Chains A and B, each alone.
Chain A
């Protein structure tokens, strides 16, 4: 899971939604322990391009948390830090997004036709929202909100990706070629189950 997968840029923990999540976020701050005072946003952007270009791509999710814990004794309390550095974080976030957009553009420009086709299908493929909604409501028995359907479809797609990628690894390991056969998928499921990434056997006996 820590391999660099180009199709899933690691945006790090500091997206808008998670800023309130306890224990998460405050990623870039831990790389800059001395800063408490508010910064000029232009200077911010310049600094961000220096440090974020190298660090944010490599910075892993758990690391900021660890950094935060070890540094907390030498820094102001969390609430004060958040209030002061919000503007800086947004500026850095924009900078990071810009860089990633640029990286994606470079990558797409370098793709062959077959790769482009595949990438296009990868981006546009999705589960039909109506069917997912029907399925969730059949299980839950109550109507569900639209956000739930959005979240669930997204997770299901990532799930398919995990299984297919693991199965492709199996296929390659056994010296065979796509299309994937059921035995590859079954072995992939067995592996993922060991890693704890599979639904448990609560509902269906699959094989």
Chain B
């Protein structure tokens, strides 16, 4: 089932995005995040088995969010590219998201440094 999801041609998503939301955005598109979204909803306070319709609505919302953020990032700073600095700039007003992105990127840097130091220890000797 997961294989099906991944092999599914990306252009199907693309054509639905480019073709506009005429079908309400929930027509033929395969569910991309069903499993993960269910877990996430439970984690945030919903029931252990959330309704499928609710999961679908949230998935559409997430995809719209990511799409819009990507478009905005492409029109900010260095054009036609999506860069982290642009994302951080766009999110500066939203305190929660800004803090979260900062945390994630900081942790990522620390992990990279730790891994590098670990590798050096191994290869140095």
A-to-B contact residues, CB < 8 Å: 1, 8, 10-11, 15-18, 61, 118-119, 121-128, 130-132, 134-136, 138-140, 142, 144-145, 147-148, 150-152, 154-165, 168, 178-182, 184-186, 189, 197, 199-200, 202-207
Choice from B5, B67, B108 contacting A139 with Cβ under 8 Å:
B67
Contacts of A182 in B (CB 8 A): 51, 53-54, 57
Total residues of chain B contacting the partner, CB 8 A: 65
Contacts of A126 in B (CB 8 A): 36, 40
Minimum CB–CB distance from A194 to chain B (whole Å) comes to 15
Q: Is B122 at the interface (CB under 8 A from chain A)?
A: no
Complex Cα–Cα for A181 and B103 (A):
32
Give 3 nearest A-B pairs by CB, closest first: A122-B43, A179-B47, A204-B21
* In contact, B61 and A142 (Cβ under 8 angstroms): no
Minimum CB–CB distance from A180 to chain B (whole Å) comes to 5
Main secondary structure of the interface of A (DSSP, over half): helix
* In contact, A1 and B83 (Cβ under 8 angstroms): no
* In contact, A163 and B61 (Cβ under 8 angstroms): yes
Minimum CB–CB distance from B118 to chain A (whole Å) comes to 19
Contacts of A179 in B (CB 8 A): 46-47, 49-51, 54
Minimum CB–CB distance from A2 to chain B (whole Å) comes to 9
Minimum CB–CB distance from A169 to chain B (whole Å) comes to 10
* In contact, A180 and B82 (Cβ under 8 angstroms): no
| Nearest CB in chain B to that of A134: its residue | B10
* In contact, A125 and B39 (Cβ under 8 angstroms): yes
Contacts A151-B104, A180-B46 aside, 11 further interface pairs with beta carbons under 8 A come to A17-B102, A18-B102, A125-B42, A131-B33, A147-B84, A151-B105, A154-B103, A179-B46, A179-B47, A199-B68, A203-B68
* In contact, B96 and A8 (Cβ under 8 angstroms): yes
Contacts of B117 in A (CB 8 A): none
Complex Cα–Cα for A140 and B14 (A):
10
Choice from B49, B51, B65, B82 contacting A156 with Cβ under 8 Å:
B65
Contacts of B32 in A (CB 8 A): 131, 135
Complex Cα–Cα for A140 and B73 (A):
9
Complex Cα–Cα for A164 and B14 (A):
27
Contacts of A206 in B (CB 8 A): 21, 24-25, 57, 60-61, 64
B 68-103 binary contact with A (CB < 8 Å = 1; else 0): 111101100000111110011001001111011111
* In contact, A160 and B60 (Cβ under 8 angstroms): no
11 contacts between A and B (CB under 8 A): A8-B96, A124-B39, A139-B17, A139-B67, A144-B82, A147-B84, A151-B88, A155-B65, A155-B97, A158-B100, A160-B37
Minimum CB–CB distance from B64 to chain A (whole Å) comes to 5
* In contact, A15 and B45 (Cβ under 8 angstroms): no
